[in-house]
Structure 1
Amino acid sequence: MVLLGTIVNGIAIIAGTFLGKVMHRIPEKVKTLVLQSIGLAVVILGIQMGVKSEQFLIVILSLLFGSIIGEIMDFDGKLNKLGFWIERRMGSTEEGGIAKGFVTATLIFAIGAMAIIGALDSGLRGDHQVLYTKSLLDGFTSIVLATTLGVGVLFSAFPVMIYQGMIALFATQIEQWIPDPIMDAFIIEMTSAGGIMILAIGLNMLEITKIRVANMLPAILVVALLVAGQYFYHQFTM
């Protein structure tokens, strides 16, 4: 089943959120320190991923043009509006609480190599091991996030499943269109660009910055276009 790994990932996030809400009586000081600890861990993860690039100019150009596209399209605003809509439907008394949890968790769970590589493995080879591992990590992360950011974390499961599911379904046909060198280069440069976005998420969690990370998401698409363009340029000029 192509979507099995994605479904398990979504269930893990939902289950982790419920466990986190059960543990909501954790003292506020502990919650703050835990959230800061996650923020620091996310920063380190972002740095580790960010330095994997083999052609950093592609990463820079991708983030530049991707951010311009994202600002024009205002993905951050749309994601927040969706969070606030969920908040109103839930009748939450804490303004912005559900929206913050939804947006933060969605970005943490959706951005990164494991989401894309895992979905590609599911679609290309029917191998869900990467997404199973991601499910375990996301499940534990959602427990902690839910104790600090609330029930909004639960709703992040749905965009994550849609995002990964679309990649998995697309991957079932991808081998017919995309040469292996393009895919290999894309994964490397996408990992680096995604790592920089994850670093930004960590800095936001630590309240050091207020970067609109969702508006940087088109950089992933720009990476794909630049990698493909470079590949075909070399093919035609050789």
Structure 2
Amino acid sequence: MIIGPYVDAGSVLTGGLAGAAIGVHLPKPLRSTMTSIFGLCSMCMGLLAIMKDATLPVMVLAVILGTLIGELIFLERGIGVIGKHVDILMNRLLPSSGHGGVSGEAFLEQFVAIIVLFCASGTGIFGAMHEGMTGDASILIAKSILDLFTAAFFAAALGYAVATVALPQLAILLILAYLGGYIVPLTNATMQSDFFAVGGVLMFATGLRICGIKSFPVASMLPALVIVMPLSLLWGRLI
């Protein structure tokens, strides 16, 4: 029985609701500091994933081609539009939710980043596929603890819209969990390392964006996760 995706998404939902409810009572410097800390954690987790025994040319090629695909289909813009509509809807349902003083542009910047952080992290993807293959939900359960606090502090600044990220997160993790039993046996260790390395690049870019250092188009980089394993397989056969 698959339980990890439900636990992880439930943590994001709970943390998002709780953080939005108490956000007005938290000092703004604390919210800003903790947001930067979560960005730093994302960069650290990304670095650990990148340091796996990956094929560097495959990782670079996947990121470049994946980002090119994402930009050509306006993926970042599309997710931003969805985020804007979600924000409008939540403000209509809960007029007092607001952004905690965050501007509309900053809201969209961080909202897109947290979608990637919660829905496309290497830990979440691996944890879901691992549970689908072995039945062990420990990775996602451990991740849910971090996600609970991350969602709470982001919601303190961005409002109830953060809680809605639990829905696409649940859908993605469930799909990966059920497909894990079919996909993982078709891969090898090199393909998996390349996949996690690309996920690490996305998490590092997400951390830079959350901290306000550099606004990488992290949503447009998502197709890199789709093409990296086929590229890794092709590279291994040709080189």
Alignment TM class, shorter chain as reference = 0.7 to 0.9
Change (3 A) 1:216 1:53: farther
Please tell me the residue identity of whatever aligns with 2:17: F
- Aligned residue-pair number: 229
Deviation at 1:223, TM superposition (A): 0.9
Tell me if the contact between 2:110 and 2:210 (Cα under 8 Å) persists in the aligned partners: no
Please tell me the residue identity of whatever aligns with 1:196: V
Deviation at 1:56, TM superposition (A): 0.8
CA distance in 1, matches of 2:214, 2:183: 38
Please tell me the residue identity of whatever aligns with 2:20: K
5+ residue gaps in structure 2?
A: none
Q: Percent identity?
A: 24
2:196 alignment partner in structure 1 = 191
Q: Deviations over 1:184-236 (max 9, x none)?
A: 222211211111111111111121111111100111112111122234447xx
Tell me if the contact between 1:86 and 1:98 (Cα under 8 Å) persists in the aligned partners: no
Secondary structure, in 3 states, of the residue corresponding to 1:215? coil
1:41 alignment partner in structure 2 = 41
CA distance in 1, matches of 2:207, 2:114: 11
Tell me if the contact between 1:101 and 1:152 (Cα under 8 Å) persists in the aligned partners: no
1:141 alignment partner in structure 2 = 150
Say which of 211, 215, 230 aligns to 1:225. 230
1:70 alignment partner in structure 2 = 70
* 1:94-105 pair list within 5 angstroms: 95=104, 99-100=108-109, 102-105=111-114
2:133 alignment partner in structure 1 = 124
Secondary structure, in 3 states, of the residue corresponding to 2:219? helix
Q: Structure 1-normalised TM-score? A: 0.87
Secondary structure, in 3 states, of the residue corresponding to 2:220? helix
Q: Deviations over 1:30-66 (max 9, x none)?
A: 2112212222222222222222243111100000110
CA distance in 1, matches of 2:172, 2:235: 26
* 1:1-238 pair list within 5 angstroms: 1-2=1-2, 4-24=3-23, 25-90=25-90, 91=92, 95=104, 99-100=108-109, 102-174=111-183, 178=186, 182-233=187-238
Tell me if the contact between 1:80 and 1:103 (Cα under 8 Å) persists in the aligned partners: yes
Secondary structure, in 3 states, of the residue corresponding to 2:216? coil
Deviates more, 1:47-56 or 1:133-142: 47-56
Secondary structure, in 3 states, of the residue corresponding to 1:54? coil
Q: Structure 2-normalised TM-score? A: 0.87
How well do the aligned residues superpose, as a CA RMSD in angstroms?
2.1
Tell me if the contact between 2:113 and 2:209 (Cα under 8 Å) persists in the aligned partners: no
